[in-house]
Structure 1
Amino acid sequence: MTHPNQSTPLQEQPPLPSSTRVTEELPPLTSDPSFWAMSLTQFLGAFNDNVFKQLLLLLATPTAAAIAAAELAGESAPDRQSEAMIVFAAAFLIFSGFAGWLADRTSKRTLIVASKAAEILVMAIGMVGFYFYDLIGFGGMLVVLFLMGVQSAFFGPPKYGILPETLRDSDLPRANGIFLMFTFLAIIFGVVVAGLLKAYVDNVWLGSAVCVLIAVVGTMTALGVRRVPPATPGAPLGAEDLLVPRSLLRVVWSDRQLMLAVLVTSAFWMLGGVVQQSVNALGKSQLGLGDAKTSLLAAMLGVGIPVGCVLGGYLSRGRINPRVVVVGASVLLVCLLLMALRGGANDHLLGFGGSIPVLVVMGIGTGMFIVPVQVSIQALPPADEKGRMIALMNQCNWIGIVLGAILFKVALVTLDAAGQPRNTMFLVAAAIMLPVALFYRPEERSLSD
């Protein structure tokens, strides 16, 4: 049922004003150097984020041997992954509102370059933190993780908000597919490299020095992004901009499709937070795998996601396609249920080898599902609200991740008390996805050139 104040389909809306669109003729997507520079910049940034975050998550996840030894001593070996996820998410919740206002008031290209330069500093601090890890411990590295979250919070609104400003509307589905493909390829490499560093490099800080170099290269590639004018130059900063502006809430409330897309993407990242921690817990705590194999298992999810993103962008060609969402959600739900099956060695029916293809297919469903949702959030808001809309999406996403981290912690304690294996957490994830798969159907819309 359509809300009476819902905005008209995109093909009936006027084009973005010239103040927020690049005025020269836009080139085809595949031959647009600005788009490829932005995609490479995103790849390098996502790689760094995932190397650092996975290193901390591995440090936070107890091994099966540690759990057994703690049980014999009448103690517990806590899984501290949730602490890392909450700290990282807190930075987004605190700064996303301001970052969104800044992304609309300032040229998004300028903000992209500045945030990438800040990444160099954060990665350097991270390298020093790993060098002094024996002194500052896991708690000290959480401070570094928070700083990384702050940098990412300011990078998020301009990196997504600049796409509709520099691309033709009809190219947005394919562009998002390619953009997300680069993102999840970075996740694959970042997670695998983190596992290899943790398993085979005695001095992890030396490996993290590579992240500083990658941040430098990412700053250079950001310079290739096309210049754009500010969407709302001179906009004053109000108290509500630090949270959620009332004008933005009215935009979301007046467009039912936009509101549903924001809620669904929040639930999606809640699911993602639970699944990421569940895979690490399955590998290290239940199957008894080392850091390298556990990270390889986590990376398998990322192997399928770029395929799904490209497939979702191709099938959506020039429109928001609800059928792509339905297929992706259904595949994702089935794979979560398969990962929860009991039996076999270590009470996990699939085991390490069987989990790999299921996680790859789960990734394909994930990519297909999220592309049309992402396009909806980029394309539906008014031109002068896109930066703050992306910031609101980030806030909602990280609220979802925080809730996912809390849910993971509570469910894990409950499952341990009931003597249930770690892979039961995938049932919890399936419960999050079930109502989305059953009821979410975005309205099909064509995207104008």
Structure 2
Amino acid sequence: MSQQQSQFALLKSRRFLPYFATQALGAFNDNLFKNVLLLLIAFGGLAAQEESALYTNLAAGLFILPFFLFSPIAGQIADRHEKSQLIRLIKALEVVIMGLAATALFLDSAVMLLALLFLMGLQSALFGPVKFALLPQHLRAEELVGGNALVEMGTFLAILGGTIAAGLLFGLEQSKSWIAAGLVLLALLGYVSSRFIPQAKANDPGLVINWNPVSEIKHTIRKAKQTRSVYLSILAISWFWFLGASYLTQFPNFARDYLGGNTQIVTLLLTLFSLGVALGSLLCEKLSGHKIELGIVPIGSIGMSVFGIDLFFACQQLRVTEGMSAMAFIGAQENWRLMFDIAMISAFGGIYVVPLQALIQHRSDDRNRAQIIAANNMLNALLMVASAVVSILLLSVLKISLPLYFLILGVVNIVVAAHVYNQVPEFVLRFCTWMLSHTMYRVSHRDLEKIPDEGAAVLVCNHVSYVDALILAGCHHRPIRFVMDKSIAEMTGLKSFFKLAKTIAICSPKQDPETYETAFRRIKEELEGGHLVCIFPEGKLTKSGEIDEFKAGIERIIQETPVPVIPMALEGLWGSLFSHKDGHALTKRPKRFWSKVQVIAGDSLPPEEVTAPGLQRKVESLKDSLAV
């Protein structure tokens, strides 16, 4: 998918459309069945009034329990087998379950319907790992964010659609016939669409499946922890589901106690929340520039907290009357702030969660990707249950008000986000580079696919300004270790940031021999660890705008650790606040914002062809091509 192409182009592709339809139809059907069952318990006489609360909580628990018990096993199955065929088998199981559910509706069997809800939870638990593990096999890396955004959008709109459809069908004459027909028809449509999903080979055909759910839960968590950024992303996604469940669960009570009590208001809040997630998810591709951009994750968490906290204050200025309709609620301007806050909480939630999902898919080991996703699903379910426990504690035991509860969620979100970003500094680094490249500069790049997606390599580039490293770091999805002058790396106010970015400080051997040798030792360690290392062989910022002589340090690096070298060039930063044009950098007033900056990568050079003069000529040629 080119940068000119919208993520919606995926909906025209067989690689994605049948998968998208299968997923959306399944989410719609899950929520139609679950909400119909809850309505039958509450209003349909399926349970005695004194038992309705018990049956409602039992239903919620039965649907989510399979995610704990069977997600790890489902992840193994998804890694062991070809995925398109596996999806068809899972969707065929849904057809059988919904056929039985249609029968149970006419039998008025609460026990049978609850058992079938458990089986639907099992079917969803089986489907979860395979559906997300399949995406990286059918989509290119630059399509993953757009694909995940569409899936997130489709899922939340399907949840909303299934919830609304349950209420509409429940109110019809001959409602059981309509509901039964809808459940079976949606299951059949999901199966038919799954028939068109292209093949996706097994990740690990020789995997021996451990059928013990308890021991496999521990094993799955251990695998997820092997890559720290992946594991912490899983925890961050699970926190999103904690927040989402906290808000969605409280909407009925919130509408009843604070917004006039009309059930239309509940539907309005659900609609605002679902549309917000859909909008935020779709914005991810635009904000991320068609790549997995972790820099927008902090933007998502900041937005969720800002509007989550403001929701408390919006509750203080509402204008409601008993039993007012949704249209009357919308018509009162005093209520717009609350509606906007709810939509923005979920929109920033979409911006927050989509890049994290794409990161898990992209950075997980191919052989056990589905098992890592299974760990994600399992922890998501755990945090959703935890949200119910916390809600009971705060609202029922401590008796706090719902607006205060919303305020607490917004504040705690700041604490959780700060902890995650402290543990994974890459989020902070990418956020700073994203902000820089979307405020002061407009950064475009060419041929960055020449930088390898895995394995060690050295990047060499001309040195124009103090923000060269930030610009380059923001252009590529892989973390880059930058070698920079010690005086820059230890600048007041920036030292901590450069330390987070794992920069390597260097200086001349005459100035500090120990720092000089330590730098080369660290460069060797990073390259042997399979990382990208970027150096500026000029050794200092240009004072003329032209490329200075490349020092021989690059030759020593390649002699000690023979790896490919990729020449790169920067254009557009000369004359900026951070360059030495017309005086020392950072001592002049900025002359302009939103300046155009270009980055280009050249062909990889094998170690045996690397010389300092040869690399200088390559970088000069690349720079000249940008100036044309």
Report the TM-score, using the length of structure 1 for normalisation. 0.80
Q: Deviations over 1:337-375 (max 9, x none)?
A: 333344446799x99533433322222111111101101
- Of residues 104-113 and 264-273 in structure 1, the stretch that sits farther from structure 2 once superposed is 264-273
| 1:302 CA drift (Å) | 0.4
Identity of aligned residues (%): 28
Cross-structure match for 2:75: 100
Number of residues paired by the alignment? Answer: 403
Cα drift, residue 282 of structure 1:
1.5
Equivalent-residue separation in structure 2 for 1:274 and 1:125 (angstroms): 32
Correspondence 1:146-185 to 2 at 5 A: 146-185=118-157
- Report the Cα distance in structure 1 between the residues aligned to 2:146 and 2:193, rounded to whole angstroms: 21
- Name the SS of the counterpart of 2:364 in structure 1: coil
Distance 1:410 1:79 in 2: 18
Match of 1:281 among 244, 253, 258: 253
* Equivalent position to 1:272, from 233, 244, 253: 244
Residue 16 of structure 1: aligned partner? none
Shift of 1:306: 1.2
Distance 1:61 1:345 in 2: 29
Partner residue of 1:234?
206
Report Cα offsets for 1:33-58 as digits up to 9, x if no partner. Answer: 12111011111111111222333455
Q: Are residues 1:47 and 2:22 paired?
A: no
Query: Alignment partner of 1:236: what SS?
Result: coil
Deviation at 1:267, TM superposition (A): 1.6
**Is structure 2 residue 382 aligned with structure 1 residue 381?**
no
Evaluate the alpha carbon distance shift between residue 239 and residue 114 of structure 1 in structure 2; reply closer, same or farther with a 3 A threshold: closer
Aligned residue type for 2:34: K
C-alpha separation in 2, matches of 1:283 and 1:76? 24
- Counterpart in 2 of 1:85? 60
Bigger strand share? 2
Describe the shift of the 1:404–1:79 C-alpha distance in structure 2 as closer, same or farther (beyond 3 A): farther
Residues in 2 aligned to 1:118 and 1:256: alpha-carbon distance in whole angstroms: 36
Please list every run of 5 or more consecutive structure 2 residues that lacks an aligned counterpart in the other structure. 1-8, 44-48, 431-473, 479-628
What's the CA shift for 1:214?
1.1
> Which of 231, 235, 248 is residue 263 of structure 1 equivalent to?
235
Q: Using CA pairs below 8 Å that are at least 6 residues apart, which structure has the higher relative contact order?
A: 1
Alignment partner for residue 18 of structure 2, among 24, 30, 37? 37
Q: Where in structure 1 are there 5+ consecutive unaligned residues?
A: 1-27, 63-69
Secondary structure of the 1:340 match is helix
Rounded to whole Å, the distance in 1 between the matches of 2:393 and 2:138 is: 44
Partner of 2:84: 109
Question: Where do residues 411-430 of structure 1 align in structure 2 (5 Å cutoff)?
Answer: 411-414=394-397, 418=399, 420-430=400-410
Residue 278 of structure 2 is aligned to residue 306 of structure 1: yes
Cα separation, partners in 2 of 1:167 and 1:118, compared to 1, 3 Å: same
Superposed displacement of residue 82, structure 1: 4.7
Q: Counterpart of 2:287?
A: 315
Deviation per residue, 1:195-228 (Å, 9 max, x gap)? 3234555624523421210110111111111112
Comparing 93-102 with 438-447, greater Cα deviation is found at 438-447
Cα separation, partners in 2 of 1:252 and 1:398, compared to 1, 3 Å: same
State how far apart, in whole Å, the 2-side matches of 1:278 and 1:132 are.
32
For the pair 1:371 / 2:346, whether they are aligned, the reply is no
Q: 1:239 to 1:93 in 2, by over 3 A?
A: same
Partners of 2:286 and 2:306 in 1: CA distance? 23
Where 2:196 maps in the other structure, the secondary structure is coil
Change (3 A) 1:290 1:246: closer
Equivalent residue, structure 1, for 2:377? 394
The CA deviation at 1:241 is 6.8
The amino acid that maps onto 2:418 is: L
Larger helix fraction of residues? 1
Q: Which moved more, 1:162-171 or 1:339-348?
A: 339-348
2: distance between equivalents of 1:201 and 1:438? 53
**Do 2:301 and 2:349's aligned partners in 1 also have CA atoms closer than 8 Å?**
yes
Deviation at 1:130, TM superposition (A): 3.5
In 2: Cα distance, 1:319 partner to 1:48 partner: 32
Q: Is 2:315 the partner of 1:359?
A: no
Of 310-319 and 102-111, deviating more is 310-319
C-alpha contact 1:85 1:402 (8 A) present in aligned 2: no
